[in-house]
Structure 1
Amino acid sequence: MENMLHLAPCRASVPDCFIVPPEQLPPAASVAAVSLPVVDLSGSHDEVCRAILDAGKEFGFFQVVNHGVSEQVMRDMEAVCDEFFELPAEDKAHLYSEDRQKPNRLFSGTTYETGGQKYWMDCLRLAFTFPVGDSTSEWPENPERLREIFEKFGVLTRGVGMELLQLLCEAMGLRPDHFDGGLSSGDAILSVNHYPQCPNPSMTLGLPPHCDRNLITLVHTGPVHGLEVLYNGDWIKVEPMPNAFVVNFGLQLEVVTNGILKSVEHRVMTNSMLARTSRAVFIQPKEDCLVGPADEFLSEDNPPSYRTVTFGDFRRTHSIVKLKSSLNLTTNLKNIQMKDI
């Protein structure tokens, strides 16, 4: 627990283990002429399908509004997350673990190799099944309403993700239930990332450039800037929108579509004035689910670009490569996909 950033006194400088070499920390584009597309789920069905596909092809990211998760649920989630990180250290010490295999844990300063680069973030990561059942029994008991609010937020957010996948199927000519079953029924992950105030944001990162290794991710970013997306070789800042989810495609979706849709690198910057907390739900396949390009995207002129492997094998290989490469902060994780297994 001594590693938890949010429990430490305010620092006057960034410790050496968090410092990123300047050449590996290019600034975001100075001209904010590009912004992520916004998909309004209250629009006409055909327009929504087309908007999701267009946004996915160009950015791999978009923001979604009028998604059906109420403002009250979002506010309750924000409040209980703040309450959790404000708890005394002794009330959450039992949750702390550096064991990456634990489904439910509190950890800090993500490390990609022993003694390697650390990042300016504390994280509460929890897993749940769907239907939920007793999969929340090992979640934190404090604050008092945490389990109730987290479960409601997780289930509703996962539902939005599944709706988006179905709309994407229709837009791409897949059967509507293509992503049902094993491709989406692995443990869902609810990740609460807390980025404390940083004395010098120009020297470190909250999270390094990476692609999500799951199927699809939905993030409620809150009002503080921090998320940046790689677009045409430049980093663009994501402008937070009230009550919106930022949606991005994971590596498994790129594989299923044989590269038509891309999983795009993104990173998180820190802030010297404000702490930032984001809440994300990751939808992923079952460990034993075979993931490969769908037949609908294959032909004699367009052979498979990726091998078909189980999601479990992919995750293990993905972690090994990350450990060996230390990411170098600029490595494109799409190169660690099925082609290289």
Structure 2
Amino acid sequence: MVDLRHHGDSEVGHGLLDFAVNVRAGTPPRWLAERIAASVADLAAYPDPGPARRAVARRHRRHPDDVLLTAGAAEAFVLLARALAPRRAVVVHPQFTEPEAALRAAGHRVDRVLLTGGFTLDTAAVPEDADLVMVGNPTNPTSVLHPAEALAALARPGRILVVDEAFADCVPGEPDSLSARTDLPGLVVVRSLTKTWGLAGLRIGYLLAEPALVRRLAEAQPLWSVSTPALVAAGACSSPRAVAEAETWAADLTERRTRLADDLTDLGLAVTPGHRASFLLVRTPGAGRLRRALREHGIAVRRGDTFPGLGPDHVRVAVRDAGTNAQILRVLAELL
């Protein structure tokens, strides 16, 4: 049984160069940090989610009633697990393990669909009678981006389709995002502001769904679950300025990721193709030993064997700036 509660932050230790956590380095930017800091002056009042909901709705061309703000994407998965009563819940793996962990914690039985090969989505592998399907896009930890049309094909009346788009803004233009789709029955899109904006400690995310489902999930959410600073961050990160900044970052990320993938391949490591997120899935025999050796040399990477569908030969490597990437490449060249 894999440890579904193991995450990248468990790999990081004092003095280690962090390639384990997939949060953008050097964030939050100054303009965002200043907005968050200024919100402290309003802490005497209870949080008002209205402005942030409207900002998120505008960003995705949705109605505010389609938006539920959450304390990170993780809370969205907990709310879904608590509010829904699926007869057959299916999680498509490998992917972020919190959706399955939340379902199991709520007492639901979970079936797994394990993708193989290049980890591309096989819609035929999803059982027809599944009334709750959870899938990531792009997927953590594979970095694979599934086509929007393949995901849309999984939607149908009587089924809740949850698409985790925590890393969607890693892809310039977000061409395969379903965040603006209101025509697909039962669709829930979960987004996070943690990764691109470096807000893991603030806990802010949201989900997009039809209003009736949003209301149902909101009833399962504690009052004032999202703090005032987090709401300010949600509104700021949904502004046209922020979206443009994220787009510029995503284009730069694409270049750095491609270069790192090529360099890792040149060292004899197998990099999962089709990578589109802020990390790479790497396979090599004895990856566990390599991970421990990297740690002894001051570098942390994410183990892969806690993801269903992966094993001890996989590690996940975050994409950093060129200078930081060069450091792990130098150490790998020595170890290999």
Same fold flag (TM > 0.5): no
TM-score w.r.t. length of structure 1: 0.30
TM-score w.r.t. length of structure 2: 0.31
Q: Kindly indicate whether structure 1 or structure 2 has the higher relative contact order, using CA contacts under 8 Å at least 6 residues apart.
A: 2
The structure richer in helix per residue is: 2
